[in-house]
Amino acid sequence: MKALVFHAFGGPETLRYEELADPVIGEGEVLVRLEAIGLNFADIYRRSGNYHLAGQPPYILGYEGAGVIEQTGKGAGALRPGDRVAFADVPHANAELVKAPVDRIIPLPDDISCEQAAALLLQGLTAHYLVQDSYAVSAGDDVLVHAAAGGVGQLLVQMAAAKGARVLGLTSSAAKREAALRAGADEALLYGPDWAGEARRWSRDGQGVSVAYDSVGSTLPSSFAAVRTRGTVVFYGMAGGDPEPVDPRMLMDTSKTLTGGDLWNHVTTAEERVARSGELFQWIRDGRLRLADIRRFPLKDGAEAHRLLESRLHSGKIVLIP
């Protein structure tokens, strides 16, 4: 099979398109021929050496994709060759073939394409648990979304709006502000010297937003300044660097809540993956959820795709096509 690999940590120039042996599946696994692969910032962090990688080179990136089952091992249950499937957490997905544990497989309905699944699942499942579990958004809430033009950000905006909340996006440029508004934000602000004050003034009563979804990290103190007394800050990423320590006395004095979020603490079983994905697919059918622009690259041009993602110039999803 062909795969996008790298032999040493570094920039996009380290990526190579090489011939490797086909994966050999065992019990409880299926072999999937990929039709679309989602590209995520985690792939960049792994390629650059910021995330730990087990094993020896050549390393194959990628955890998210969709395609057709080519072979099944013992214990595959109802899965059969020819089934269209997807996954959000199977390693070595930057290849023509990948072996996947049965419990990571998400069956694809006929009306959901492989490209849609590869563009949706990882970020969609993240946004899903954030608005359902980390803080259960409800009608009347004022919701602040950091990086609202990003992949998770745009989905958060849509999901919160669909639940009847007022949504305020935060973005780093005028173009991204427009992307957040197109996604359905009621208003969007640029990161400025007093964005927390602007967010409070935007809230219904001027006292602050109900919840702030913070994926930046270094903005955590300002997120607390933006939420109301008894409000919540959901911390789920550090794109802008490590946050400052939080003083628990401030939490006590203001009755504010800080909660963390990691997808893999919420999606722990096959049943959970299928159920949450099914809701995402239904929201696409209902029109409550729209995918941002999908930019396609041949898998062999993966280095170019990495450069575009690192540039942060594309506000939609990047998909690699084997």
pLDDT digits (tens, 9 = 90+) for 301-312: 999 999 999 987
Per-residue pLDDT at 156 exceeds 80? yes
* DSSP-assigned letter for residue 131: I
- Residue 284 CB: number of other CB atoms within 10 A? 18
Per-residue pLDDT at 239 exceeds 90? no
Per-residue pLDDT at 313 exceeds 80? no
The contacts of residue 302 (CB under 8 Å, 6+ apart) are 4, 12, 15, 17, 39, 94, 320
The per-residue pLDDT for 51 is: 79
Exposed, middle or buried by CB within 10 Å (0-12, 13-18, 19+), for 111? exposed
Exposed, middle or buried by CB within 10 Å (0-12, 13-18, 19+), for 48? middle
The per-residue pLDDT for 320 is: 98
Per-residue pLDDT at 242 exceeds 90? no
Exposed, middle or buried by CB within 10 Å (0-12, 13-18, 19+), for 295? middle
Per-residue pLDDT at 292 exceeds 90? no
| Cis omega (within 30 of 0) for bond into 58 | yes
Per-residue pLDDT at 91 exceeds 90? yes
Least confident among 50-59, 83-92, 278-287: 50-59
pTM of the model: 0.94
Burial 183-211 (b: 16+ CB within 10 A, else e): bbbeebbeeeeebbebbbebbeeeebbbb
Mean pLDDT throughout 291-307? 94
The per-residue pLDDT for 115 is: 97
How far from chain centre, in Å, is Cα 134?
15
> What is the pLDDT of the chain when averaged over all its residues?
95
Whether residue 148 contacts residue 188, with contact meaning beta carbons closer than 8 Å, is answered with: yes
The per-residue pLDDT for 128 is: 97
Per-residue pLDDT at 46 exceeds 80? yes
Among residues 142, 133, 320, the alpha carbon closest in space to that of 236 is found at 133
**Structural domains in the chain?**
2-121+267-321 (3.90.180.10), 139-260 (3.40.50.720)
Per-residue pLDDT at 190 exceeds 90? yes
Exposed, middle or buried by CB within 10 Å (0-12, 13-18, 19+), for 304? middle
Mean pLDDT throughout 90-96? 97
- Residue 153 CB: number of other CB atoms within 10 A? 27
Cα four-point dihedral sign 152, 153, 159, 160: positive
Q: What is the pLDDT of residues 135-153, one digit of tens each?
A: 999 999 999 999 999 999 9
Mean pLDDT throughout 86-106? 97
Exposed, middle or buried by CB within 10 Å (0-12, 13-18, 19+), for 93? buried
Q: How much of the chain, in percent, has pLDDT values that exceed 70?
A: 100
Per-residue pLDDT at 89 exceeds 80? yes
Q: Which residue has the tokens 């669909």?
A: 162
- The alpha-helical segments, DSSP class H, found in the chain are 41-48, 114-129, 151-162, 174-183, 195-202, 220-226, 248-254, 270-286, 302-311
Whether residue 142 contacts residue 210, with contact meaning beta carbons closer than 8 Å, is answered with: yes
The per-residue pLDDT for 315 is: 75
Give CA–CA dist 141/146, Å, rounded: 16
* Predicted confidence band of residue 217 (pLDDT cuts 50, 70, 90): very high
The per-residue pLDDT for 307 is: 96
Give CA–CA dist 262/233, Å, rounded: 14
Q: Which residue has the tokens 């996954």?
A: 87
Q: What is the pLDDT of residues 55-79, one digit of tens each?
A: 889 999 999 999 999 999 999 999 9
Per-residue pLDDT at 206 exceeds 80? yes
* Predicted confidence band of residue 228 (pLDDT cuts 50, 70, 90): very high
* Predicted confidence band of residue 168 (pLDDT cuts 50, 70, 90): very high
* Predicted confidence band of residue 316 (pLDDT cuts 50, 70, 90): confident
